[in-house]
């Protein structure tokens, strides 16, 4: 029997939560009800009342705190929920979490869920899980399952009953499967970044490193991947990084659809682990297909990558900006590091004869690296394309040198 934490504003969603509790118990598990309501008396009795949660958020007297306004109260409840979920998780009092809510409830519950570790079952049944929502705000860098409630969470009917049941099935199934699954490794862990246009390269590098005895974790260049790798480095769970596809850096520089911030890889660069950076997919900016921006840049080389994404070629000056930014980050590295550049192109369509091949623009990245790097940064230029099979072998070989040089330095210490 597992315990599922169920979060909801019980002043408006009592019957719905009672239904979830019944379904959880019928599935052979137990529900632990947390009340995140802040207005009226709860419609059903919670296991963890709102005042206990609010106390963890710094609020001793709910009625007195109301004078600070709705936003302040919601912030306190969110902080309290986050601390409560972490406490319950660390004490192994819950094995999964399920929530249902509208806009406010979804924001509070999912923010709290983001504090839980990757792999811990998290399910949110929400009115805002629809096509007009920006999901990044709700899921962050965590594996939160969002289930659209379709209609508002106001009663049990022919739409909500099967959807609420699906939410229970999702979280209990995740909990049961997690109990049956265990994975531990004593292998050194290497993080790689990838996009569709660098997949050939990354897959070959991964294959080589796997044979060498590494565990490889490949993250997409969608910003979240970089955040997860940096969190791993912060807690000492990462032994090296091959940043083949820092596309999100270009997104930051050129206001693309996938853009990091200045904190990208902050923990990685100061961790002392070996870091290698390549210019994969920094040779185009990602814009929404059919947008005004695409029309405005219509004189540039471009192609439609998906019905939603268009790749637009970057100029020499823009490539220089990205190269300078990444080089300055490498200058701050305290561990062995390298910038490796494939001179024949940085992505699938950036090769001779490709839709966005531009040798002069590519040179902007090279010039930035060579003109701005410190002596501590190893730089190697190769007369290959990023997706050439031989280049993957070069990446793996050079990374192994970095890795072993770092290991030798640790032994010397």
Please provide the average confidence, as pLDDT, over all residues in the chain: 94
Q: 287: which 2 tokens?
A: 């814009």
Q: 25: which 2 tokens?
A: 């118990």
Q: Is the pLDDT of residue 375 over 80?
A: yes
Q: Is the pLDDT of residue 326 over 90?
A: yes
Range name among 97-111, 113-127, 135-149, 208-222 with the lowest pLDDT average: 135-149
Q: Is the pLDDT of residue 241 over 60?
A: yes
In this prediction, residues 78-86 reach a mean pLDDT of: 97
pLDDT of residue 291: 94
pLDDT in tens, 300-323: 999 999 999 999 999 999 999 999
pLDDT of residue 137: 84
Band the pLDDT of 19: cuts 50, 70, 90.
very high
Q: Is the pLDDT of residue 96 over 80?
A: yes
pLDDT of residue 281: 97
Yes or no: say if 240 and 403 are a contact pair by the CB < 8 Å rule.
yes
Q: Is the pLDDT of residue 412 over 70?
A: no
pLDDT of residue 410: 57
pLDDT of residue 409: 60
What percentage of residues in the chain have a pLDDT greater than 90? 89
In SS3 terms, the chain reads as CCEEEEEECCCCCHHHHHHHHHHHHHCCCEEEEEECCCCCCCCCCCCECHHHHHHHCCCCCHHHHHHHCHHHHHHHHHHHHHHHHHHHHHCCCCCEEEEEECHHHHHHHHHHHCCCCCCCCEEEEECCCCCCCCCHHHHCCCCCEEEECCCCCCCCCCCHHHHHHHHHHHHHHHHHHHHHCCCCCCCCEEEEEECHHHHHHHHHHHHHHHHCCCEEEEEECCCHHHHHHHHHHHCCCCCEEEECCCHHHHHHHHCCCCCCCCCCCHHHHCCCCCEEECCCCCCEEEEECCCHHHHHCCCCCEEECCCCEEEEECCHHHHHHHHHHHHHHHHCCCCCEEEEEECCCCECCECCCCCCCCHHHHHHHHHHHHHHCCCCCEEEEECCCCCCHHHHHHHHHHHHHHHHHHHHHHHHC
């Amino acid at each position: 029997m597992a315990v599922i934490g169920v979060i909801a504003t019980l002043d408006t969603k009592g019957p719905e939560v009672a239904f979830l509790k019944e379904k959880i118990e019928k599935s052979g598990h137990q529900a632990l009800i947390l009340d995140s309501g802040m207005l009226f008396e709860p419609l059903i009795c919670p296991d963890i009342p709102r005042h206990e949660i609010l106390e963890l958020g710094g609020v001793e007297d709910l009625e007195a705190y109301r004078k600070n306004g709705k936003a302040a109260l919601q912030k306190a409840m969110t902080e309290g929920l986050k601390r409560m979920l972490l406490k319950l998780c660390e004490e192994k009092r819950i094995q999964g979490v399920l929530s249902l809510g509208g806009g406010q409830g979804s924001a509070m519950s999912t923010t709290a869920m983001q504090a839980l570790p990757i792999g811990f079952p998290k399910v949110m049944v929400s009115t805002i899980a629809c096509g007009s929502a920006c999901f990044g705000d709700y899921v962050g860098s965590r594996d939160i399952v969002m289930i659209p409630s379709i209609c508002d969470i106001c009663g049990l009917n022919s739409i909500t009953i099967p959807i609420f049941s699906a939410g229970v099935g999702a979280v209990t199934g995740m909990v049961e499967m997690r109990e049956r699954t265990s994975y531990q490794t004593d292998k050194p862990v290497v993080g790689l970044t990838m996009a569709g246009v660098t997949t050939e390269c990354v897959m070959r590098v991964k294959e080589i490193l796997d044979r060498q005895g590494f565990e490889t974790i490949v993250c997409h260049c969608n910003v979240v991947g970089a955040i997860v790798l940096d969190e791993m480095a912060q807690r000492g769970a990462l032994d090296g990084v091959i940043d083949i596809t820092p596309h999100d850096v270009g997104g930051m520089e050129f206001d693309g659809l996938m853009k990091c911030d200045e904190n990208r890889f902050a923990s990685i660069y100061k961790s002392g682990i070996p870091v290698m950076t390549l210019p994969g997919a920094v040779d185009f900016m990602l814009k929404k297909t059919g947008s005004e921006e695409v029309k405005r840049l219509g004189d540039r080389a471009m192609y439609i990558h998906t019905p939603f994404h268009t790749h637009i070629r970057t100029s020499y000056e823009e490539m220089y900006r990205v190269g300078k930014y990444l080089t300055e980050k490498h200058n701050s590295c305290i561990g062995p590091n390298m910038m490796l550049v494939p001179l024949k192109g940085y992505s699938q369509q950036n090769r001779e004869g490709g839709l966005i091949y531009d040798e002069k623009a590519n040179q902007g990245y090279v010039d930035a690296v060579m003109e701005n790097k410190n002596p501590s940064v190893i730089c190697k230029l190769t007369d290959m394309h990023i997706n050439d099979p031989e280049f993957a072998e070069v990446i793996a070989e050079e990374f192994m040198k970095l890795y072993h040089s770092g290991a030798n330095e640790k032994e010397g210490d």
